[in-house]
Each structure stands twice: as structure tokens, then as C-alpha cells.
């Protein structure tokens, strides 16, 4: 029986059914230890496709862990995934975090957005529950001094900094404009992009603001059009970037369009439709593999496609690795008790599909990579992996 298919908390009937099944298999119910892994992402709302992508990555990892026959403290382990939807909303995110704490999860993978990850981290920290974010890039997350906060991707300092330098030195941007959605992620990556543009000697001609729910950008785009930008950077997610690209085309703005991992998705081409042209959009994913490691990532993508009949959007491999990293720390500690496996998590050295994973003293991934992409024929095309 797959315990992940049962809702938590288990009903008395469900518990009895599990016990009978385990006895029939020659095991008593008290010989099996249930380890609860929480996952939180936006599985509703404008970026639900990204949240579902993340959740599916977690499901794959949990299923593989259960098939591996792991034991902790001499007892067989059954990993159970408790998935929550935060709608990319900070208030909903903290409510989801409290729900997982109340369910006594052994660890949490998430959240997807920096704007939900940061407030939720306060709740997990207060409960002593380790948290690994697969995608939150705002530096503040790991700079709060929380012992149990980790991430498996590079942060905005690296992400925005690399893109800002690329805009000036490679794309030869003369007049560079910025738009951000005022979220923790969008504002953070835009600020780091601006710093890098200035450091590289670039010329910033404007900075406009929108929201992560907006769909009409004619006013801010018209303002920027008058400043004749040849590069426009957007700090935000693909659900907003797609319509923005359409309106840029309608207004006759021919600038290169740049963004971070929030727009670097397979869905962007669909959302932008005819607003996207070849070599017009540039983005960076906060991670990346090359050389021999690429085979592992390619296999993951193929397996994911077979299992879910969907292409990986962005973060599913990082969620998958984050779950495996947390489990490996538990195995090393021979315990799923957060207080016991947290020290092992801090010293982890793990070879995953996203590359080598080890954390620094803040909980950031060491030597984090970025992958630069452009789009051709509506498909992402890799330019380079940068460290």
C-alpha cells in the first residue's frame, strides 16, 4: 500500500487498513516508521504549472525512496508526501507551513517563490524543522541565521549579477531598462541585475513596476519605449512575462528581453505566442549541469515525461534532488528526527541529477551553477553553464 495516497491525518479506518496490509505482508504496523516530507508550491493560480512541476519532482523522489527499502533505527521506513498549495501568496504560504508543522512533518521541501519561502521559513525554524528550497533565490532566505534553511540553487546575487554582465558585455546593450513585479523574487533579482549593469559600465534608462497579477503593461511599456531601450530586463514569472512580450511586439518595441529563472520555462513560448522571436529572449536557470553530468539530467527528463506525460518546466529536478538529499541526511544520522539529522544535512555531499550538492555555512549551495538560455523555434536552447 502506498501511504502517500492517504490524506493526513490518517483516519482510524485507514490506519486499520494499513495495519492489516502490513501484517498480511509479514510485518507488524509498529515495525514500520512513517516519515513525513512536506512539499509546498503554488498548484493553483497563474503559475500552477510551475508548482505542479515541483510537486511531481517530489513524488518521483518519494516513490523511489520507498522502493529502496530504507531502514532507520532498525525499522523499515515508509516515506509519505504531504503536499500543500500556497498559491504563490505569502499569507497562504504561512498557513500551509503551519499546517505542515501541526502535522509533525520530519522535513519540508519548498517553497517555490522567495515571497512565500521567506515568511514560511520563520515558522519552520520556530518548530525546528529543516527546510530545503529548490527554487527561492532571494539572498535574504539564507541570511536570517536559521540553522535549518537550505537551498539547492544559486541566489539572486549570482543570477542577477551574471545576467547584468551578459546584457552589457555579450548583448552589447546600450540603453537598458528594468521592470519588476515587486515580489521578493522579482525585486531581488532586478536589483542585482541593475548593480551588475552599472558595474559593467552599462547605461540604465528606466525602472518601472508592475505586479505578479498584472496583464496590462501598455502604460509602463509606452514610458520605456520613449527611452529607446535595446534590452529590457523583467524580474518576475513567466505568467506575466508572456503577455508582456506580446504587448512589446504590439507597441513596436524591438528590445532584447531578459529575465531570471522565473521566465526560463518551457511554458513561456506558449504564453508569449507570436510575441517571441528567435534569439530575442534570454534567461538564466539557477542551476545547471554539463559534461558527464548531463546524461543524468537527460535521463531524469525522459523518465519525468514518461511518468507524467509532461515536460519538465524548470525546478522539478531540484525538488527531486532536495528530497533525496534530505533522505540521505536521515540515513547518515540513522534517524528522521530533525534534531539528529540536521547536522548531517549541514555536511552533506551528494551527487544528484542537478550536479554536486553541498552547503556552505549559510545553507546556500556551494559553487552553484547558472545555465544561460535563449529561445529558438519556441524551444529553449542552452547557451552556456556559468559558475
**Tens-level pLDDT at each residue, the chain (387 residues):** 333 333 333 344 343 444 444 444 444 556 899 999 999 999 999 999 999 999 999 999 999 999 999 999 999 999 999 999 999 999 999 999 999 999 999 999 999 999 999 999 999 999 999 999 999 999 999 999 999 999 999 999 999 999 999 999 999 999 999 999 999 999 999 999 999 999 999 999 999 999 999 999 999 999 999 999 999 999 999 999 999 999 999 999 999 999 999 999 989 999 999 999 999 999 998 888 888 888 999 999 999 999 999 999 999 999 999 999 999 999 999 999 999 999 999 999 999 999 999 999 999 999 888 999 999 999 999 999 987
In a domain, 377, yes or no: no
Instruction: Examine the domain organization and report whether 93 and 161 are in the same domain.
Output: no
Instruction: Examine the domain organization and report whether 107 and 204 are in the same domain.
Output: no
Instruction: Examine the domain organization and report whether 257 and 118 are in the same domain.
Output: no
Q: Are 100 and 38 in contact (CB under 8 A)?
A: yes
Instruction: Examine the domain organization and report whether 9 and 123 are in the same domain.
Output: yes
Instruction: Examine the domain organization and report whether 7 and 134 are in the same domain.
Output: yes
Which of residues 240, 266, 285 is at a domain's end? 285
In a domain, 371, yes or no: no
In a domain, 375, yes or no: no
Instruction: Examine the domain organization and report whether 52 and 171 are in the same domain.
Output: no
Instruction: Examine the domain organization and report whether 137 and 164 are in the same domain.
Output: no
What whole-number distance in Å separates Cα of residue 190 and Cα of residue 294?
29
Which is nearest to 93 in space by CA: 202, 156, 3, 184? 184
Q: What is the pLDDT of residue 23?
A: 40
In a domain, 385, yes or no: no
Which of residues 285, 318, 348 is at a domain's end? 285
Instruction: Examine the domain organization and report whether 135 and 196 are in the same domain.
Output: no
Q: What is the pLDDT of residue 288?
A: 84
State the total domains in the chain: 2
What whole-number distance in Å separates Cα of residue 98 and Cα of residue 119?
11
For residue 184, give the CATH number of its domain: 3.40.50.2300
In a domain, 178, yes or no: yes
In a domain, 384, yes or no: no
Q: What is the pLDDT of residue 30?
A: 62
Can you give the residue range of the structural domain that contains 58? 3-153+293-366
In a domain, 376, yes or no: no
What whole-number distance in Å separates Cα of residue 184 and Cα of residue 233?
16
pTM summary value: 0.85
Instruction: Examine the domain organization and report whether 301 and 316 are in the same domain.
Output: yes
Q: What is the pLDDT of residue 214?
A: 96
In a domain, 49, yes or no: yes
Instruction: Examine the domain organization and report whether 212 and 124 are in the same domain.
Output: no
Phi-psi region of 213 (alpha: psi -120 to 50; beta: other; left: phi over 0): alpha
Instruction: Examine the domain organization and report whether 215 and 255 are in the same domain.
Output: yes
Q: What is the pLDDT of residue 289?
A: 85
Instruction: Examine the domain organization and report whether 237 and 147 are in the same domain.
Output: no
Which of residues 285, 320, 354 is at a domain's end? 285
Amino acid at each position: 500500500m502506498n501511504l502517500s495516497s492517504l490524506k493526513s491525518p490518517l483516519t482510524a479506518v485507514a490506519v486499520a487498513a494499513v495495519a492489516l496490509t502490513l501484517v498480511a505482508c509479514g510485518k507488524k504496523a509498529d515495525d514500520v516508521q512513517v516519515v513525513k516530507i512536506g512539499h509546498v508550491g503554488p498548484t493553483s493560480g497563474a503559475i500552477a504549472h510551475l508548482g505542479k512541476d515541483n510537486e511531481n519532482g517530489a513524488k518521483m523522489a518519494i516513490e523511489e525512496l520507498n522502493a529502496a527499502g530504507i531502514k532507520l533505527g532498525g525499522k523499515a521506513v515508509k516515506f509519505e508526501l504531504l503536499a500543500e498549495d500556497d498559491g504563490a501568496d505569502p499569507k497562504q504560504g504561512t498557513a500551509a507551513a503551519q499546517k505542515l508543522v501541526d502535522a509533525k512533518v520530519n522535513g519540508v521541501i519548498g517553497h517555490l517563490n522567495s515571497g512565500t519561502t521567506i515568511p514560511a521559513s520563520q515558522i519552520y525554524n520556530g518548530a525546528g524543522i529543516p527546510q530545503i528550497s529548490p527554487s527561492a533565490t532571494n539572498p535574504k532566505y539564507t541570511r536570517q541565521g536559521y540553522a535549518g534553511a537550505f537551498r539547492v540553487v544559486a541566489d539572486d546575487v549570482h543570477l542577477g549579477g551574471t545576467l547584468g554582465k551578459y546584457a552589457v558585455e555579450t548583448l552589447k546593450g546600450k540603453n537598458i531598462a528594468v521592470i519588476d513585479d515587486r515580489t521578493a523574487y522579482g525585486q531581488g533579482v532586478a536589483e542585482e541585475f541593475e548593480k551588475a549593469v552599472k558595474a559593467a559600465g552599462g547605461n540604465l534608462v528606466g525602472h518601472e513596476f508592475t505586479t505578479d497579477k498584472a496583464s496590462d503593461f501598455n502604460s509602463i511599456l509606452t514610458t520605456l519605449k520613449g527611452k529607446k531601450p535595446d534590452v529590457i530586463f523583467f524580474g518576475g514569472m513567466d505568467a506575466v512575462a508572456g503577455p508582456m512580450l506580446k504587448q512589446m511586439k504590439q507597441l513596436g518595441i524591438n528590445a532584447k528581453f531578459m529575465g531570471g529563472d522565473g521566465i526560463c520555462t518551457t511554458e513561456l513560448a506558449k504564453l508569449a505566442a507570436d510575441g517571441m522571436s528567435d534569439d530575442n529572449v534570454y534567461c538564466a536557470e539557477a542551476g545547471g549541469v554539463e559534461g558527464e553530468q548531463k546524461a543524468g539530467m537527460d535521463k531524469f527528463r525522459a523518465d519525468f515525461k514518461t511518468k507524467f506525460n509532461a515536460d519538465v518546466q524548470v525546478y522539478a529536478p531540484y525538488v527531486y534532488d532536495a528530497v533525496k538529499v534530505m533522505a540521505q541526511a536521515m540515513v547518515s544520522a540513522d534517524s528522521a528526527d530533525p534534531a539528529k539529522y540536521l547536522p548531517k544535512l549541514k555536511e552533506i555531499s551528494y551527487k544528484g541529477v542537478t550536479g554536486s550538492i553541498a552547503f556552505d555555512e549559510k545553507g546556500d549551495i556551494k559553487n552553484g551553477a547558472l545555465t544561460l538560455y535563449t529561445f529558438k523555434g519556441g524551444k529553449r536552447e542552452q547557451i552556456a553553464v556559468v559558475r
